[in-house]
Amino acid sequence: MLDTSIEYLKGVGPQRASLLKKELEIFCFGDLLMHYPFRYVDRTRIFSVNELNEDIPFIQLRLKIARIEHIGAGRSARMVAHCFDDTGEMDLVWFQGIKWVKDKLKPGLEYLVFGKPTKYGRRYNIAHAEIELYTEEIFSRAGGLQPIYSTTEKLKSKGLDSKGISRLMQSLFDALKGNIPETLPLSTLKQNHLMDRRNALTQIHFPDAPDKAKYAETRIKFEELFYLQMQLLRFKYRRKTMVKGHVFGLVGDLFNTFYHKILPFSLTEAQKRVIREIRADMGSGKQMNRLLQGDVGSGKTIVALMCMLLAIDNSYQACLMAPTEILANQHYKSFLKYSEGLDLNVELLTGNTKTAQRKVLFESLRNGDIHFLIGTHALIEDQVQFGNLGLVVIDEQHRFGVEQRSLMWQKNERVPHILVMTATPIPRTLAMTIYGDLDVSVIDELPPGRKPVKTMHFFDNSRLKVFAFMHEQIRQGRQIYVVYPLIHESETLDLKDLMDGYESISRDFPLPHYAISIVHGQMKSADKEYEMQRFIKGETQLMVSTTVIEVGVDVPNASVMVIENAERFGLSQLHQLRGRVGRGADQSFCILMTGNKLSAEGKVRIRTMVETNDGFAIAEADLKLRGPGDVQGTRQSGLEGLKLADITRDEAIVRMARQSVEDILDGDPNLAMPEHQMIPWQLKNLSKGNSGLGMIS
Ligand code: ADP
Ligand code: MG
């Protein structure tokens, strides 16, 4: 019944049906059932005039009309009904339908009036109120809590305003005759004191009282979050019991030699702890699926490298995938350097690797000659096949789509261990929701001796001051990044901004004392790499670039990051960019340049950056500003399936739902018990059109 096409609902028909589909994505009865009101207006009581204040929403009054006046002419013509009740006076105003008002409303009679009051001078008025002659019967009919549905202009023109949708809802409930199946186990309802589904949906659309509507809403939110968690955790439980992982039992020569002879610094306690966690996973016989979170500069790369050495000690291959070519190159170079003196074969694969080279590379990958492969998403290509891949590391994982990551699972007959790394810390509730399937390790400590980056904000008109500061820093032997945002839709225009900036910097930092590198997305990769290397080697003092250097780039001697048009960047991007400096022992600076006009949100972003270096605090602020849907890493996460629940505001319900799901899976991992039979059924319903990527986070 719920699958029945909406066209066949009484009151719909083909014309309205096609509009409902187009405008609201309502295709069948079930979709309409889940078109929830976004608020209610309270017509349970009658307000009196002396209760009015300016914050009051739509309300209902019982007013007697004293007299009716036709005021003004032409465009400003209006009808005003001067009204009163026992407590005071107010006006009703109409700018249209003047004739109707004249004919219908009579002084001396009492009316039930509904609308939003506004104050004009000292008097309240309601424009275009809903009005009917007052009778007890009318009041009881209008009464109650009225749901307000979202709709569109096109639908309104076909009679489907909020009221119209309400009428459809009535005919839907008539048609369903209470046939609304339960989707949660009875024990879950009981434990969490939830309404049953039929009741909840009835109360959402036809509430008896405000608290009932609230209670119904909680039940629906719980259900949404329950199934989101179920989708995530079910795979985690199944993987834990079914997918066998490679066992890396041995801590061998490579790892030990590296640790004792090559590693140029001692690991932080946090790095050691995380390596222990990962080793425990990879030695357990289960397949690892772990997220490594650590603020920018916390030293994730070395952790990844050491885990990869473990894999090779145990006769497996390992690979690392990075989101940009610059970053892949950088990892490749540093791994080459670290593996000097080790018997290791490290190779690089990017979109620019030549065909002839590829052939050789693919061959030696298959026969196991290559131990480490580092690359960009070129690693995902079909021809890339390993002899015996044991570990996949994905750097800056939020830059990859779920689908891209999932393909890395299939690079070996037995699923390799997966370590995904991110510098974008996410708040706990969000992590619980979108990474429910992953185990999480956190590096919550920076290497010793780092001085926190000092962040400063300057308006464009203080540019001379900023240039003076940059000169001084370069004189002290430091290097500087100057980054331009992508502003325009068109790459050529963006490039123009960058080139204009480059020219003005060239004027202020002239040869022969200064050398400037420039890097942007449209350069050939060999040129990019050449410019990058000049900067890394210290041959250039300034690096002018677009955000291609945003993630991962590591040049310890660079100590100033100047961000142009900083108001155009999101918080997490600003934090990432700032993370490019503060990597050496010198005091580092981040300079945010903005225009004089800042939006309210822009101000908050700039202030947050100036006030804190803490990635978690920044992530919280970001979540508050943008809402969860926009935070990096949340796309394709199932969050868009949440209609009522809001994981930032409904934290308590998130926890309740997750606990219930864990309890159920602990006792019945395959969901085979009769009282759980609706769960697989509902999961199947929910995953219609979804390719089962839920297995991978
Ligand atoms: P991220 O976590 O942002 O990827 P990186 O792995 O690039 O950070 O590390 C940042 C810098 O810190 C690198 O230059 C790295 O060599 C250095 N580093 C990492 N761990 C330590 C440590 N324990 N002590 C000192 N320096 C370290
Ligand atoms: Mg990194």
Give the residue, by CA position, lying nearest to ligand 1 atom 16. Answer: 299
Residue type, 616: F
Compute the distance from residue 265 Cα to the ligand 1 centre, in Å: 10
| 406 close to ligand 1 (CB < 6 Angstrom) | no
pLDDT tens digits, residue range 519-571? 988 888 889 889 988 999 999 999 999 887 767 688 889 999 999 999 988 88
Residues 533 and 469 placed together within one structural domain of the fold: yes
Residues 464 and 345 placed together within one structural domain of the fold: no
pLDDT at 696 over 60: no
Q: Which of 98, 118, 143 is the last residue of a domain?
A: 143
Q: Which of 573, 596, 612 is the last residue of a domain?
A: 612
Task: Provide the sign of the torsion angle of the four alpha carbons 470, 472, 473, 474, taken in this order.
Answer: positive
- For residue 158, being part of any structural domain is answered with no
Residues 409 and 488 placed together within one structural domain of the fold: no
pLDDT at 474 over 50: yes
Ordered DSSP codes for 595-619: -S---HHHHHHHHHHHH---HHHHH
- For residue 83, being part of any structural domain is answered with yes
On the CB side of 332, how many CA atoms lie within 13 Å of its CA?
A: 18
Residue 261 is classified by DSSP as I
Residues 467 and 357 placed together within one structural domain of the fold: no
Question: CB pairs under 8 A, 24+ apart, for 336-344?
Answer: 338/258, 338/262, 338/305, 339/372, 340/262, 341/257, 341/261, 341/262, 342/254, 342/257, 342/258, 342/262, 343/254, 344/254, 344/312, 344/371, 344/372
Q: For position 629, what pLDDT does the model report?
A: 54
Task: Provide the sign of the torsion angle of the four alpha carbons 533, 539, 541, 545, taken in this order.
Answer: negative
Domain CATH for 113: 2.40.50.140
Helix (H, G, I), strand (E, B) or coil at 341: coil
Q: Which residues pair with 563 in a beta bridge?
A: 483, 592
> Rounded mean pLDDT of 480-499?
78
Residues 512 and 587 placed together within one structural domain of the fold: yes
CA dist 335 and 322 (Å) reads 14
Predicted confidence band at 499 (pLDDT cuts at 50, 70, 90)? Answer: confident
On the CB side of 570, how many CA atoms lie within 13 Å of its CA?
A: 16
| 8 close to ligand 1 (CB < 6 Angstrom) | no
Total count of residues recorded for the chain: 697
- For residue 404, being part of any structural domain is answered with yes
Task: Provide the sign of the torsion angle of the four alpha carbons 350, 353, 355, 357, taken in this order.
Answer: negative
Question: Which numbered atom of ligand 1 lies nearest the CA of 294?
Answer: 2
pLDDT at 490 over 70: no
Substitution site in 292, 338, 419, 554 for ligand 1 pocket (most atoms within 8 Å of beta carbon): 554
- For residue 532, being part of any structural domain is answered with yes
pLDDT tens digits, residue range 184-209? 999 999 999 999 999 999 999 999 88
What lies within 8 Å, CB to CB, of 397 at 6+ separation is 291, 405, 420, 421, 422, 633
Residues 458 and 379 placed together within one structural domain of the fold: no
Helix (H, G, I), strand (E, B) or coil at 44: coil
Q: Which ligand has the nearest atom to the CA of 551?
A: 2
CA dist 14 to 149, 155, 157, 536, 581, Å? 21, 13, 15, 66, 61
Q: Which helix (H) or strand (E) holds 428?
A: helix 428-434
pLDDT tens digits, residue range 380-420? 998 899 999 999 999 988 777 767 777 887 888 888 999 99
Substitution site in 258, 263, 265 for ligand 1 pocket (most atoms within 8 Å of beta carbon): 265
Chain centroid offset of residue 575 CA: 16
Chain centroid offset of residue 374 CA: 28
- For residue 438, being part of any structural domain is answered with no
Residues 603 and 465 placed together within one structural domain of the fold: yes
Substitution site in 272, 296, 298 for ligand 1 pocket (most atoms within 8 Å of beta carbon): 298
Compute the distance from residue 374 Cα to the ligand 2 centre, in Å: 14
Ordered DSSP codes for 469-509: HHHHHHHTT-EEEEE----SSSHHHHHHHHHHHHHHHHHHS
CA dist 430 and 41 (Å) reads 32
Q: Which residue has the higher pLDDT, 438 or 88?
A: 88
pLDDT at 19 over 90: yes
The first and second tokens of residue 309, run together, are: 């050495």
- For residue 308, being part of any structural domain is answered with yes
Compute the distance from residue 297 Cα to the ligand 2 centre, in Å: 7
- The total number of structural domains that make up the chain: 3
Q: Which ligand has the nearest atom to the CA of 304?
A: 1
pLDDT tens digits, residue range 82-120? 999 999 999 999 988 888 888 889 999 999 999 989 988
Residues 265 and 411 placed together within one structural domain of the fold: yes
Residues 478 and 329 placed together within one structural domain of the fold: no
pLDDT tens digits, residue range 108-153? 999 999 998 998 888 999 999 989 898 887 777 666 788 989 999 9
Residues 415 and 303 placed together within one structural domain of the fold: yes
Q: Which of 374, 406, 422 is the last residue of a domain?
A: 422
Q: Are 437 and 697 in contact (CB under 8 A)?
A: yes
CA dist 449 and 455 (Å) reads 18
| 639 close to ligand 1 (CB < 6 Angstrom) | no
pLDDT at 690 over 60: no
CA dist 501 and 682 (Å) reads 56
CA dist 522 to 368, 375, 549, Å? 35, 19, 13
Residues 362 and 415 placed together within one structural domain of the fold: yes
pLDDT tens digits, residue range 455-470? 999 999 999 999 999 9
Mean pLDDT of the chain: 88
Whose tokens are 């919280």? That residue is 620
Task: Tell me the residue range of the domain where 371 lies.
Answer: 253-282+299-422
What lies within 8 Å, CB to CB, of 153 at 6+ separation is none
Give the residue, by CA position, lying nearest to ligand 1 atom 17. Answer: 299
Ordered DSSP codes for 99-134: HHHHHH--TT-EEEEEE-EEEETTEEEEET-EEEE-
- For residue 407, being part of any structural domain is answered with yes
Domain CATH for 575: 3.40.50.300
Query: Which value, in Å, is the radius of gyration of the alpha carbons in the chain?
Result: 32
Predicted confidence band at 633 (pLDDT cuts at 50, 70, 90)? Answer: very low
Beta strands, E only, 251-355: 289-294, 317-321, 346-349
Question: Which numbered atom of ligand 1 lies nearest the CA of 395?
Answer: 4
Residues 515 and 566 placed together within one structural domain of the fold: yes
| 84 close to ligand 1 (CB < 6 Angstrom) | no
- For residue 492, being part of any structural domain is answered with yes
pLDDT tens digits, residue range 648-658? 778 889 889 99
